[in-house]
Chains A and B, each alone.
Chain A
Amino acid sequence: MESKNLNGRVLKNKVMKTLFFSATVIALVFLVLLFYRVLSQGLGYLDWNYITSFPAPYPEEAGIWPGMIGSLMLMGVVAVVAVTIGISTAIYLEEYSPKNKLADFIRVNIQNLAGVPSIVFGLLGLTFFVYLFGIGYRLLAGGLTMALLILPVVVVSSQEALRAVPSDVKEASYGMGASKWQTIVRVILPAAVPGILTGIILSLSRGIGETAPLIIVGAATAIYTLPDSLLSKYTVMPIQIYKWTARPQEEWQFVAAAGIIVLLVILLLMNALAVWIRNKYQTRY
């Protein structure tokens, strides 16, 4: 067959390739600019003292220690709550729930919840956890609010991991007289856990950078004692950073940049952990 207009098609391909490449470059350029700005401003202030110090009235003495501890404790609460409820919900929806209109409706709405702005979850947390349950502006209220925020993402990613387990191994299990629960525990979960864990870590890393809902549920801007229980006052890294950037003197911008570096490193570590788990435990079918 004689190929028509080959030159034109080849040219079009080249043009499209260039366009897509440019799009990639634009994203990368801004990422590099971000890193450059943050590193050039913050590295000077980032030292061991910065990591282990409390906030202080002078930029040279200020540190992010209570924010780090607060963030980690908060993530502890979030992990426990979101993981138990999230995985249970995903198992119910994928394996147990009848496949009818109501179930479809619930599925779609959980996916929609994942797109609700985080500030709305903050208001929800303020109404329920802070006031209605009477927890007050304490770490537990922040943790529960943040758990609600990432719960939809945990559910959806766990559902995807469960759905990716091939049906033929499930059939093999049922075919030998295994109950649903036995099949879930022995066949489905072992195959789905790497995917579920990856989704959870990525959700947590989203949660660790969230600021808006925590401002609403009353995370403190600066505290001078570490939180020692779930009912302590607390602050988190993004809020400390946010407060420093709001100050007029230039030095505080550098302090904030140092905080961003710490936060980015923690985020990178969490994402690396997720990738590592996925690669190490992935079952290939």
Chain B
Amino acid sequence: MIEMQKPVKTSKERRPEKNKEEVSSIYKVEDLNLWYGSDQALYEINMDIPQYQVTAIIGPSGCGKSTFIKTLNRMVEMVPIVKTTGAIHYGGQNIYEDKYRVEDLRTKVGMVFQKPNPFPKSVYDNVAYGPRIHGIKDKKTLDHIVEKSLKGAAIWDELKDRLNENAFGLSGGQQQRVCIARALAVEPDVILMDEPTSALDPISTAKVEELIQELKKDYSIVIVTHNMQQAARISDRTAFFLNGELVEYQETDRLFQNPEDKRTEDYITGRFG
């Protein structure tokens, strides 16, 4: 493990320098409607999600923001009664086509959940889980991936001597960063984060936010948050959802300083929600 002194982000270095003017989009959402049984939860969502940026999704409880982020990796299908219409294009393909394999999608699109959800295994086995299910068995390769991922999640220094400890014994903030490392280990292109700091204390939250800034250099990030300050701090673009509709989708600064829609203004000035 020690002689592996490769740079931390090998696989992603091919990426061309980011040019602010011509941001390409990684997701194109078209006319997305979604129902839980007979209750419609999302209405006609149209949205382009840019590559290598942080896109925040805000809105009051029950507005459909968590549902929406879960449509991006089809995790929403874990609820058996869900129906969708419309399309979400990822890499030029509609991920809701029958022939599109979810396993494939979820390999490219990682997810970090609201509550830290490590497996009841060691830190090492948690992070190595993804590579292992994708067929990597070689111990040296796994060691390298685990180290790289934990470094990527800014938790290597804290945990490098505790790799064999059960992840359940870590603090909530550490668990969440192990979960982020676990997502990174699969080398996704996109990371979806569903209120990743809502179960964390302020210091852990600050660490995760800092980490997100770091990660967006190499990953496209979509983050759901109920915390408007957080969205303002860390995101490049912000989408405001209300009652299942996408009300406004703007560059973050514009949305918070000069919202176009009255409802957005009411929400961000604290008149409801």
Contact = CB atoms under 8 A, between A and B. Distances in A.
Contact of A175 (B80, B104, B110, B168): B110
Contacts of A167: 78
Interface in B94-126: 102-107, 110-111, 113, 115, 117-120
A175 B106 contact: yes
Given A177-B106, A178-B133, A172 B78 contact: no
Nearest to A177: B107
Interface string A255-285: 0000000000000000000000000000111
Given A169-B120, A176-B186, A191-B120, 5 more contacts: A169-B117, A176-B106, A176-B130, A177-B107, A177-B130
B129 interface: yes
A186 to B, nearest CB: 7
Contacts of A179: 103, 133
Interface in B151-199: 168, 179, 182-183, 186
Given A99-B80, A186-B133, A178 B103 contact: yes
Given A98-B80, A177-B186, A178-B133, A172 B107 contact: no
B20 interface: no
A283 B134 contact: no
B126 to A, nearest CB: 9
B198 to A, nearest CB: 14
Contacts of A182: 133
Interface residues of A, number: 22
Contacts of A173: 119, 129, 133
Contacts of A2: none
Between A174, A175, A179, the greatest number of chain B beta carbons within 10 A of the residue's beta carbon is seen for A175
A177 B134 contact: yes
A172 B182 contact: yes
Interface of B: 73, 75, 78, 80-81, 102-107, 110-111, 113, 115, 117-120, 129-130, 133-134, 168, 179, 182-183, 186
A172 B117 contact: yes
Contacts of B110: 175-176
A284 B169 CA distance: 11
Nearest to B103: A177
Contacts of B105: 177
Contacts of A186: 129, 133
A171 interface: yes
A283 B179 CA distance: 19
A250 interface: no
A171 B79 CA distance: 11
B179 A177 contact: no
A187 interface: yes
11 contacts: A99-B80, A169-B117, A171-B75, A172-B118, A174-B78, A176-B130, A177-B106, A177-B107, A177-B130, A179-B103, A284-B120
